[in-house]
Structure 1
Amino acid sequence: MQNLRSVANIMLSALMFALAGVIVKYVSSEMDILSLVFWRNMFSFICVVLVGFFSGQLSFKSERKSTHALRALFTFFALLTYFYAVQNTELSTAVLLQQTSPVFVPIIAFLVLKRLSDRYVWTGTMIGFLGVAFTSGVGTHNLNKGDLSGIISGIMGGAATITIWLMSDTESPYRQMLFFSLYTLIYSLVFLPWVWDSFTLSLLPFLIVLGIVTTLAQFFLSVACSYASTDKIVSWTYMSVVFAALFGYVGWGEKLTTGMLAGMLLIIIGAQISQKRV
C-alpha cells in the first residue's frame, strides 16, 4: 500500500512539473526568467502560509533549518535553469534534461550518504532514461544554451531530492514546503531591483497558478519520499517527460511519434524495475 501511495504521489509531482513547464512556456514570451522565478516564489510562499494558517500547521520551528535552506538553494537554482531551458528549447526536451535528476540521485546517495543503491535501481533508472531520450527526441538537434541549462537543472534537482530524503524521517511534507517556500523567496529577493517593474496584472492568474503547481510538485515529491526509499521511486519522475510531450503535442503541435510512444513505455518499465527488492 505504501508503494502505491509513493508512486501515486510522485506521478502527481511529475504532472505538476509538466504543467509548470506549460505555464512557463506561455508566460516567458512576456516576462524574463528572473521575474518568473521571483513571482513564482512570492505566490508560492503566500499559498503555503495561507494553507498553514487555516489548517493550524503554521509554525517556523525546526531543528533542521540548515537542511531546509540547502534543499531550497538546490531547488532555487534548479528552477532558474529549468525555466531558462523551457524558454530556450522544446518543452519535452527541457523536461527531459531537468528529469536527468534520477540518474544523479543514486550517485549523490553513494557520495554523500555512503549508500550504494541496488542493481534494480541502477537498471531501472538507466532504462527509464533511455525511454526519456526516445520520448524527447533529444538526439535530433545540437545542444544549445537551453539544453545545457536543463542538464544543470537535473543535477540541482538530484541534489535537492537527496536533501528531501535526509529530512523525511522528521520533517512533515507541510513543514518542508513552508521552509522551502520561505528560503526560495529569500534567495530570490536579490533579484528585486531588476524584477519589481516586470509585473503586469494580465499575467497575475498565470503567476498564481505557477506558484501553486510548482509548490504542489514539491509537496507530492516530499510525500512520496516519506512513504518509500527515494532511490527506489525517483524514476517515476520521468513521467513528467511523458506529460510534457503530450502537452507539447496539444499546445504547440510538437510531434508525437512511434519512437516517443515506445519511449513512454520504457519509462514505465524502468520505474517498475527500480521498485523491485533484492
Structure 2
Amino acid sequence: MIATTQLPPPRVFLAAVLLLGAEFCFASVSALVKYLSTDLPEEQLVFFRNIMAFLVLLPWLWRKGPGAFKTKAWGFHLSRGIAGIAAMYLFFYAIAALPLAQATLVLLLTPFLIPMIGRIWLHERVTRQTWFAIFIGFIGVFVFLNPVHMTLSPMIAVAFCAAVLAAFTKTLIRQMSGTESTSKIVFYFASISTVLSAIPLIWLWESIAQEHWLGLAAIGVFATAGQLGMTKAFSLAPAASVGVFTYSSVIFAAGFGYFFWQEPVYWHMAFGTLIIMVAGYFALRNRRRSEI
C-alpha cells in the first residue's frame, strides 16, 4: 500500500499563508519607516501610519453606520489608544536606530509578556508550562542578541518597552472584546491614535519631499493589509495551529535589513529565532489546552 502524507486542512493552510503575508506586510512597514526616518522625524511617520491606515479603513467603517460605534467603554478605548500610540512611537524610534531584525525580534516578546501582565493585573492563572515557555523565549532573545560577544545599543530597552506596552494593549483588547465589537475597537483606536499623533506635529512638522509621499501611503496600506490578514487568519484557524508563523516577521525583517542596509546576519540570530519559535509554539499549545 502506498503511504500518503497527511496534508493540513485547507482552512489551516490558508490561515498560514495569510499570516505569512501579514507578517511580510508588517516587516515592510518597518523597512519603510527605517528608510523614511533618515529624512523625516519619527513623530511624523507615526502620524502618517495612523492617518493613512484610517483612510484605508474608512469605507469599511462607513458601511457599518454610526450606530455601530456607540460605546460606554470610553476609559478602555482611551487607555488602549494612549498605550498603543506610545508603543508605536517607541517601536519607530527603535527601528530607526537598530538593525531591523533586532527591533522586530524584541517586539515579538509581546506574546510572552501577555500572560505576565494577565497574572499581575487580572490575577489570571498561568501554568508552569507557560512560565517555562516564557523562560525559554527569553533565552532565545538572549541567544539572538548575543550580548556576551556583541555590544548592545540602549535602544534595545526602548524596543522592550514597546513590547510591554503592546502586550498591555492586547490585554486591554481581550478585556474589551466581551462588550465591544471589532468595529468599535478598530474605529476608536484609529481615531484616537490619529488625533494624538497629530498633536506633536504642531511643533515638529517638516516639509515632505515628493518622492516620500508614496512611501508614506504604502505604510498605511501595508499596516492595514497586515492587520486584516492577521485577523482573517486567526478567524480561520486557532492560534495554536498557526500562531508560530507570526515569528516569520523576523526572517522578513532580516532579509530587508541585509539587502537594503547590509545589516549582517549571524548564526546565533537564526538559532535564537528558532528557540523563540519553539517556545512560542508550546506556549500557544498549552494555552489552547488550558482553555478547553
TM-score, normalized by the shorter chain, greater than 0.5: yes
Kindly indicate whether residue 177 of structure 2 is the aligned counterpart of residue 164 of structure 1. Answer: no
SS at match of 1:256: coil
* AA of the residue aligned to 1:205: L
Between 32-41 and 252-261, the greater mean CA deviation after superposition: 252-261
CA–CA separation in structure 2 for the residues paired with 1:31 and 1:135: 30
Report the equivalent of 1:241.
250
Asked if 1:57 is matched to 2:39, the reply is no
Provide the C-alpha distance between the structure 2 equivalents of 1:16 and 1:138, rounded to a whole number of angstroms: 29
| Residue 103 in structure 1 maps to residue 112 in structure 2 | yes
User: Over alpha carbons, which structure has the higher Rg?
Assistant: 2
Using the TM superposition, name which of 231-240 and 246-255 deviates more. 231-240
1:1-278 correspondence runs (5 A): 13-53=22-62, 56-59=63-66, 60-137=69-146, 140-219=149-228, 237-276=246-285, 277=289
The structural deviation recorded for 1:90 is: 1.2
Structure 2, unmatched stretches of 5+, are 1-8
CA distance in 2, matches of 1:228, 1:110: 26
1:195, CA displacement in angstroms?
3.9
The CA RMSD over aligned residues, in Å, is 3.2
SS at match of 1:110: helix
Distance 2:82 2:240 in 1: 21
Determine what percentage of the aligned residue pairs are the same residue: 26
Q: Secondary structure at the match of 1:249?
A: helix
Query: Deviation at 1:144?
Result: 3.1
Offset, 1:228 = 8.9
The TM-score, its normalising length taken from structure 1, stands at: 0.83
Q: Which amino acid aligns with 2:251?
A: V
Q: Within 1, Cα distance between the matches of 2:257 and 2:284? A: 29
Deviation string, structure 1 residues 85-131 (Cα, Å, up to 9, x no partner): 11112111111222222232111101222102223332333333433
Unaligned segments of structure 1, at least 5 residues: none
